[in-house]
Amino acid sequence: MQETDVREYIFEDDGRIPNNPRLPLLVYRQALDNSEQDSSRCKELLAENGWGGAWVDGVFSYHHYHSNAHEVLCVVDGSASIALGGPEGEAVEVEAGDVVVIPAGVGHCNKGSNGGFSVVGAYPRGQESYDLRTGEEGERPEVMENIRNVSLPESDPLFGKEGPLTQRWSR
């Protein structure tokens, strides 16, 4: 496994976006080499490591989260400012080559992008039927239960069983 700069972020529940009480969001800086920034090759890499349901697009421009699945976003083109953790969270600049691993419940929103910003997104095996939540009134009891019950991924989306995600999320 190559040496990767991994940054951890923990976000508090803001009353609307629950975030995740036990798992940090991870940002892998420049973890994809040029060949892996090809969307087809990136999808293959994710699938090899047990992450499926892959798609290619941007990130929604409104705060949202998934209560029943973790998500990986591999930036394959351009750059963006992504608000993480909901409106009270933190804006993080990402660019081609960066990878963001988002635990279930953690809010994310595209606050602005350029250069043809595009990501390959995927979910751990068994979590491909993700929900889309926005913090609407009435969803709270169900989503809190969902977040508690989401299983840990079997492997890191890029580096397999011994990758940073499996090390940091098993603590």
Q: What is the pLDDT of residues 133-168, one digit of tens each?
A: 999 988 988 999 999 999 999 999 999 999 999 999
Segment 18-73, tens digit of pLDDT: 999 999 999 999 999 999 999 999 999 999 999 999 999 999 999 999 999 999 99
- Overall fold of domain 5-165: Jelly Rolls (2.60.120)
Tokens 């009480």 label which residue?
A: 21
Domain edges within the chain: 5-165
Report the predicted TM-score, pTM, of the whole model to 2 decimal places: 0.96
Average pLDDT over residues 102-108: 98
DSSP string, the chain: ----EEEEE-----SSS---SS--EEEEET-S-TGGGSHHHHHHHHHHTTEEEEEEE---SS-BB-SS--EEEEEEEEEEEEEESSTTSEEEEEETT-EEEE-TT--EEEEEEEEEEEEEEEEETT--S---B---TT-HHHHHHHHHHPPPPSSBTTTBTTSHHHHHH--
